[in-house]
């Protein structure tokens, strides 16, 4: 069973086994406006929690996407290169950015659950 956690910087992370899918929340996508470009990292690149991992550009601004936990990029969502609007259309499903192979699952404990995240954005 997967669990979804959230960061104060509006990333979500959904863990299944030792692989975590990472994207930005619907709230973040709404704040950005229409996404026009996404820059993703290379497969195999490692990140520490809090590292800048990707960039998302909208008609309003460019924003960094940070690694919620430490890990190595196992897969990137290549579909976003041709269809960056997926970030707006389905931020918590088809609009995911990367899949990370987790290096320290205990870091998940420092992230918010859905109730805490909803309180954070209200």
Interval 99-121: pLDDT, tens: 999 999 999 999 999 999 999 99
Confidence of residue 2 (pLDDT cuts 50, 70, 90): low
Total domains present in the chain: 1
The boundaries of the domain holding residue 53 are: 3-104
How far apart CA 12 and CA 101 sit, in angstroms, is: 15
The CATH number that applies at residue 27 is: 2.40.50.100
For 56-76, give one letter per residue: b (16+ CB within 10 A) or e. bebeeeebebbbbbbbebbeb
User: pLDDT, tens digit, for every residue of 54-99?
Assistant: 999 999 999 999 999 999 999 999 999 999 999 999 999 999 999 9
Has residue 118 been placed in a domain?
A: no
Has residue 114 been placed in a domain?
A: no
Please provide the distance, in angstroms rounded to a whole number, between the alpha carbons at the two ends of the chain: 28
């Amino acid at each position: 069973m997967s669990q979804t956690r959230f960061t104060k910087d509006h990333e979500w992370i959904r863990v299944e086994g030792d692989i975590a899918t990472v994207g930005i929340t619907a709230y973040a996508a709404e704040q950005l406006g229409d996404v026009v470009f996404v820059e993703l990292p290379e497969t195999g690149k490692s990140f520490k929690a809090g590292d800048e991992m990707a960039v998302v550009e909208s008609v309003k601004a460019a924003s960094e996407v940070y690694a919620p936990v430490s890990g190595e990029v196992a897969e990137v969502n290549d579909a976003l290169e041709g269809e960056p609007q997926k970030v707006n259309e389905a931020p918590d499903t088809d609009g995911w950015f990367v899949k990370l192979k987790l290096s320290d699952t205990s870091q998940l404990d420092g992230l918010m659950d859905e109730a805490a995240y909803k309180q954070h954005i209200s």
